[in-house]
Chains A and B, each alone.
Chain A
């Protein structure tokens, strides 16, 4: 199931042309496992994590595992960078910091990203995740990626 660098580059170029990033998400095993989806609308991108039993942490509430929410946000940031910059490699994570604001209940979860700075070598991305409305985030996060 491993892919060559050329195959990944082809998938990224195809996704850019069609605006459909489903094939790229399918090519990333972790993103596929948690079941995340991407929707591009013009120059904006929305990320969705449909509720899935295997993403539950606390079974009593029930709530999504905080690690899954963080993983979804990290993958959203990485895809966001790939969608809007002209690089055809996977950005590498340098650090990641997440603040949990509300319980991530067993519901569909959404995320949007904001690139605050994209340098030659490093990108800084802020990620917001919510369930009911974007003004009530369940978590905010910030990540640095190495771009070259």
Chain B
């Protein structure tokens, strides 16, 4: 397993809500990150159609954009979300997992700009497009831990 993939898996493994949703790292390299969100009856938003709630997709994409920073930074850093926008192309198909792909398209000393898509069968036919901006808080005190330098920012 590559260093990047190891860091991405470690990061995801400590996020309790992500473990609750059974999210897993599918792929992590210099080109970005893919995380899988399995279908579950618990995360349905519309009990008539069985379509997954937008909130679960937001969680997938916030996590995916946030962790994608490890694909681009030389060392582990805490990067809380500044903002996130999701545009829904069409509803997810019930019963199938959703994949999140994210990449960083600009890294500055203070912020990181990320973008990505949520998809099911084909990344070229996304359920949703996402852009997210993340703060750089500097290197973590203990690599792999999530302790931030300041407690003011970040969700």
Contacts and interface: CB of A to CB of B under 8 A. Distances in A.
A96 B62 contact: no
Contacts of B54: 71, 74, 93, 96
Contacts of B16: 53-57, 59, 65
Contact of B81 (A1, A3, A66): A66
A94 interface: yes
Given A60-B145, A94-B88, A96-B58, A29 B41 contact: yes
Contacts of B148: 58, 60-61
B15 A65 contact: yes
Interface string B79-119: 01111111110010000000000000000000000000000
Contacts of A127: none
Contacts of A70: 55, 58-59, 62, 84
Q: Provide the main secondary structure of the chain A interface.
A: mixed
Contacts of B52: 30
A58 B15 contact: yes
A61 B81 contact: no
Given A57-B15, A97-B83, A100-B81, 20 more contacts: A2-B50, A4-B48, A28-B44, A29-B44, A30-B43, A30-B55, A54-B20, A55-B16, A57-B16, A57-B17, A57-B18, A59-B146, A65-B62, A66-B62, A66-B81, A67-B55, A70-B58, A70-B84, A100-B154, A103-B155
